[in-house]
Amino acid sequence: MSVKMRQGGGHHHHHHQTLRAAAGDNLAKAPTAKKRNTFVQACRGWLPELLLVWVFMMMVVSAGIFWWMEAQAKVKRKEGLVGMCEMRARMLKDQFSVSVNHVHALAILVSTFHYFKNPSSIDQDTFGEYTARTAFERPLLSGVAYAERVIDLEREKFEEQHGWTIKTMERETSPARDEYAPVIFSQETVSYIESLDMMSGEEDRENILRARATGKAVLTHPFRLLGSHHLGVVLTIPVYKLKLPLNPTVEERISATAGYLGGAFDIESLVENLLGQLDGNETILVNVYDVTNSSDPLIMYGRQDQGGDTSLLHESKLDFGDPFRKHQMLCRYHEKAPASWMAIMTAVFVFVIALLIGYIMYGAAIHIVKVEDDCHKMEELKVRAEAADVAKSQFLATVSHEIRTPMNGILGMLGFLLETELNSTQRDFAQTAQVCGKALIALMNEVLDRAKIEAGKLELEVVPFDIRSILDDVLSLFSEKSREKGIELAVLVADEVPDIVMGDPGRFRQIIINLVGNSVKFTEKGHIFVKVQQVNQFKSLAKTDLESCTNGVPEKDIRGFDICPYKTLSGYEVADDRNFWDMLKRLVDDELLDSFESNLSSHGSSENVTLLVSVEDTGIGIPLCAQDRVFMPFMQADSSTSRNYGGTGIGLSISKCLVELMGGHMNFVSRPEVGSTFSFTAPFGRCKLAGCADLEVPIMADFPSIFKGMDALVIDEKPIRAAVTRYHLKRLGIRVKVVGSFGIAVEALCGRNNFTNSRLYSPDVVFIEKDTWISDEDACTRLSSLVAKQNGSASHATVILLATKISAPEIKKAATAGFAETRVMKPMRASMLAACLQQTMGIGMKRQQAKIVPTPGYCSNLQSLLQGKKILVVDDNQVNLKVAAGALKKFGAHIECASRGDAAVAMLKPPHCFDACLMDIQMPEMDGYEAARQIRLHEKEANQQSKEAPANERSCEKRRGWHVPILAMTADIIESTCDECLRRGMDGYVSKPFEVENLYQAVAKFFETNPT
């Protein structure tokens, strides 16, 4: 768990580093920035000020937007005004000129028909009617009239001709003047001016003079018109009686003038009409001025003080065709420009949005600062927590170690105490104390392990080891217990698992012991089954299930295996009856699986093997509610569990830690009242053959080779159990055939059923499962007799009964059936099977093997080391001497004995032929130290002599100098004794009584360095 955390921490660190690196980059760009170089961090102090600045800026911006929009609106308004004004001016002008043109035409009409025709074709009636009928052509003129030029001389004649006198504007008879211009024709609308002298009116007179001088239509300045009292102007056009030359002078014009055609423009109603036709009439105010005298503009239309929006004015020139007169039109809006809601709204909107954005950013910045601070704080806390965790683990490790030391003392003393003479009560107390102490030590060791793992101090070894023999060891540990309980304990290692793998055997053993121990603890019936398979050869895995594990028995029906409801070892239901591939899938998630696949496909059998180990039991199972804290230390299913079954519950958590440390995964499936299956994967290195060959210590249990090539027949109705038997026998080199029932076995033995190609099948050993035997004893007797028959003819086959638990009556029955000696109690181990076979298959065989069987590895090596060596053994105790000599003789050494120190010194005086000396330390008269000292002294002298006389030709004189290895034999091995030994010129020590391993180690040391 802690391993995981550490990994997490490491990862985080890495992340942190990248952050730092990024920060470093920033640092390079902005040297003023500090460690945490985000903008937010840089200006965390004045965030509120920033917000204010932002708000102010946004105020300015929105004001700007407002003004801009206002200006736009103004321009638009002005354009509208200009457009409207210009249009009005143009229309006015057009209408005006149309009217003028028509008056012009009228003038020509008068000149044509009044003067050029004689007599005149026009009289007042004609004129009146014509003008009335063409009045629509001159909408602007209230009326037209023609006044004839009458000079004073002709006045009387004129008055006589027309029958009225010339009157002035005031309707009085005109006084005498040079000239007159009495109206002779008039439109009916203005008939009241007939006979009035136009020259008598100030404006008209001026107009007439100007018109005849220029020959063009001229206008008066505006004045109140006669009759209507509207403001108006009078248009006057001269009518000539002769055709004028091309460029007539003024005199010529005046003299040619016959009369004047005039019309009154009612400007007020005229403009009113005009404006009424146009849209937008309401919105603008129009004034028309006569600006001939620019200093004193005369108003023609509209009121000066009309108000309106005086801020915006437009002035349009009006050209009414009279060059002397100048007119202009002034337009303005009726009302002041309305407040621009659009602009206000927009500005306010923008401002509000900006305000919101600012506030949000401010909030976010504050939040970021806070979160970063918190994060920083948490990181610190995390570092502290991790440190505390490490400290805790270290503390635990130290403390448990410190406790262990005195505990060893206590246990040792208790041991001594138990060896003394105690009465039964005292003994009971002491033993209880010792048991408790041992339990405490075990617990301490476990705690220490866990602490070590958590502190990351546990280092896994990588040494070659044999998984099968480790599993055998574990099995032997629990065999007693399983036998007591009558549960079947079995191990099955798949064939493809390599013999030797690289890994940590101690830890592997610890895991297995934990799991099996747990299972044994919680199982009362059924079985415990340890399976080891290889996660390899992906394709074949998919179909590898239990049936194919028993790959010697492909067709179970034919061979008569019973069809049991659960195809398990003992026939009990198990928690996890899925096949291997499913189990693997549960252990490793998909990604890993993918990588497995790719690994396997690329270098399937190269460096690593991943093993899947599962321990299956039919125990009480784990309650569902407790399943998720199974791997937590000190958590047993519930408190009653620990009362009933004991234990601390730390084992599983340690196992899981160890598995994870190895790089594997551990998981389990459990069903209450059915059982549990714990399984784990663990990668191991493949052992190179060259590397394994020169191992100091042989790690594989080497079984006697005499079984090689033997044939065995296993009769078992349960295929998995048969597979286990088969596995162990195979390890001994025995060829195995498995059958499910006696019938088939008999058939096989008789050579039927195509078992062996027509040859008679005669196995050396026949294994019969007890259950199978009990179920069909008759068949068994038949089989036995058959075997016996074969015995007569060929080799002798042995029939062995395999049993898990056997009751007393069954023992009797077995004895009568001839299985008295040939009974193998499970759990089965290869070495045990070997021993049993040796025992039952004859003494000769046993003799042959006796030397090697007990502890094969060390013995054979020791033998090779000691073969032919001459060794002196010195001990004053005859019994010890005899035993030591016997032990060494057994390994092929030649032994000489001495019972006194001085005798030994004499015998070892050079020259001599001894290869080594084993010497007791405590001897009367001359003890071991003294003897060793004297021996070394003699050797020194001899070496000096041989230097002086190099041509020394004694048989044993192969060494460079005399130095016989002396090993102390001592019963109490304490450090000081050992040091003392080395100090006194000895080369090592062996404990007494001899242990083969100890002896081997001591002897190997100096025989390696001192080759002969």
Partner 1 sequence: MDILAQLVERFVNYRSSLYSDSILDDQFTELLKLQDESNPDFVVEVASLFFQDAEKIINNIASALKQGPVDFKQIDANVHQLKGSSSSIGAGRVKNTCVAFRAYCESQSFEGCLRCLQQVRHECTLLKSKLDMLFMLEQQILTAGGSIPPIK
Amino acid at 1012: T
Q: Which of 67, 321, 133 is nearest to 216 (CA)?
A: 321
Asked if residue 208 lies in contact with residue 199, where contact means CB atoms within 8 angstroms, the answer is yes
C-alpha distances (whole Å) from 857 to each of 202, 854, 862 are 158, 9, 9
Least Å distance, CB 416 to partner 1, is 7
Question: Is the Cβ of residue 604 or residue 993 nearer to partner 1 in the bound state?
Answer: 993
Between 746 and 836, whose beta carbon lies closer to partner 1? Answer: 836
Calculate the CA 119 to chain-centre distance: 121
Which CB sits closer to partner 1, 106 or 1003? 1003
- The angle, 0 to 180 degrees and rounded to 10, between the axes of the packed helices 505-522 and 651-662 is 150
The dihedral built from the CA positions of residue 180, 185, 190 and 191, taken in this order, carries a sign that is: positive
Least distance to partner 1, CB of residue 712, Å = 22
Cα–Cα distances (Å) from 63 to 53, 70, 335, 520, in that order, read 15, 10, 25, 88
Q: Hey, what long-range contacts does 51-54 have (CB within 8 A, 24 or more apart)? A: 51/358, 51/359, 51/362, 54/354, 54/358, 54/361
Tell the smallest beta-carbon distance from residue 480 to partner 1 (Å): 11
Taking a C-beta distance cutoff of 8 angstroms, is the pair 720, 549 a contact? Answer: yes
3-class secondary-structure state, position 527: strand
* DSSP code, position 627: G
Smallest gap, in angstroms, from Cβ of residue 436 to partner 1? 22
Phi, psi of 1008 (to 5 degrees): -75, -45
DSSP 281: T
Of the pair 320, 819, the CB lying nearest partner 1 is at 819
Least separation in angstroms between residue 509's CB and partner 1 is 22
Return all residues near 48 (Cβ < 8 A) that are at least 6 apart.
362
Specify the residue, 419 or 975, whose C-beta has the smaller distance to partner 1.
419
User: Which residue lies nearer to partner 1 by CB, 59 or 417?
Assistant: 417
Rounded to a whole number of angstroms, the minimum distance from the CB of residue 836 to partner 1 is 9
Shortest distance (Å) from residue 880 CB to partner 1:
5
Provide, rounded to whole angstroms, the least separation between the CB of residue 641 and partner 1.
Answer: 33
Binding site for partner 1 (CB under 8 A): 416, 419-421, 820-821, 835, 839, 843, 846-847, 850-851, 853-854, 876-880, 882-884, 886-887, 889-890, 922, 924, 971, 992-996
Of residues 337 and 852, the one with the C-beta less far from partner 1: 852
Pairing of strands 298-301, 179-180: unpaired
Round to whole Å and give the CA distance between 873 and 896.
6
In whole angstroms, give the CA distance from residue 683 to residue 689. 18
CB 268 within 8 A of CB 231: yes
Q: Which is nearer to partner 1, 195 or 849 (CB)?
A: 849
**Token pair of 530, please?**
């340890």
* Longest CA pairwise span in the chain (Å): 205
CB of 876 to partner 1, least distance (A): 8
What does the alpha-carbon distance between residue 684 and residue 502 come to, in Å, rounded to a whole number? 6
Least spacing, CB of residue 730 vs partner 1, in Å: 23
Instruction: Tell me whether residue 420 or residue 1009 sits nearer to partner 1 (CB atom).
Output: 420
Distance in Å, CB of 926 to partner 1, minimum: 15
- CA distances for 350 relative to 56, 62, 731, angstroms: 13, 6, 89
Would you say 463 or 835 has its CB closer to partner 1? Answer: 835
What is the spatial order of strands in the sheet that 823-825 belongs to? 735-739, 711-715, 765-769, 798-803, 823-825
Q: Residue 720 CB, nearest distance to partner 1 (Å)?
A: 27
- Smallest separation, CB 726 to partner 1 (Å): 23
Whether the ω angle into residue 119 lies within 30 degrees of 0, i.e. cis, is yes
CB of 725 to partner 1, least distance (A): 19
What is d(CA 799, CA 745) in angstroms, rounded to the nearest whole number?
Answer: 13
b/e sequence 598-612, b meaning 16+ C-beta within 10 Å: ebbeeeeeeebbbbb
Nearer to partner 1, 609 or 923 (CB): 923
**Both structure tokens of 1012:** 């002969």
| CA–CA distances in Å: residue 355 to residues 50, 51, 369 | 12, 9, 21
Q: Strands of 705-822 (E only): list them.
A: 711-715, 735-739, 765-769, 798-803
- At position 93, the amino acid (one-letter code) is K
Query: How near is the Cβ of 882 to partner 1 at its closest, in Å?
Result: 5
Of 525 and 847, nearer to partner 1 (C-beta) is 847
Who contacts 459 (Cβ-Cβ below 8 Å, separation ≥6)? none
Shortest Cβ distance from residue 703 to partner 1 (Å)?
Answer: 16
- Nearest-approach distance from CB 421 to partner 1, in angstroms: 5
Pairing of strands 327-333, 284-290: antiparallel
In the complex, least distance from residue 475 CB atom to partner 1, rounded to whole angstroms: 14
DSSP states along 19-64: HHHHHHHHHHH-TT--SS--HHHHT-TTHHHHHHHHHHHHHHHHHH
Q: Tell me, what amino acid is at 662?
A: M
- The residue among 391 and 820 lying less far from partner 1, judged by its C-beta, is 820
| Closer to partner 1 by Cβ: residue 349 or 416 | 416
Tell me the C-alpha distance between 265 and 267, whole Å.
5
For residue 485, the SS3 value is helix
Of the pair 72, 839, the CB lying nearest partner 1 is at: 839
Nearer to partner 1 (CB atom), residue 878 or residue 945: 878
Q: Which residue, 235 or 969, has its beta carbon nearer to partner 1?
A: 969
- Which of 356/971 has CB closer to partner 1? 971
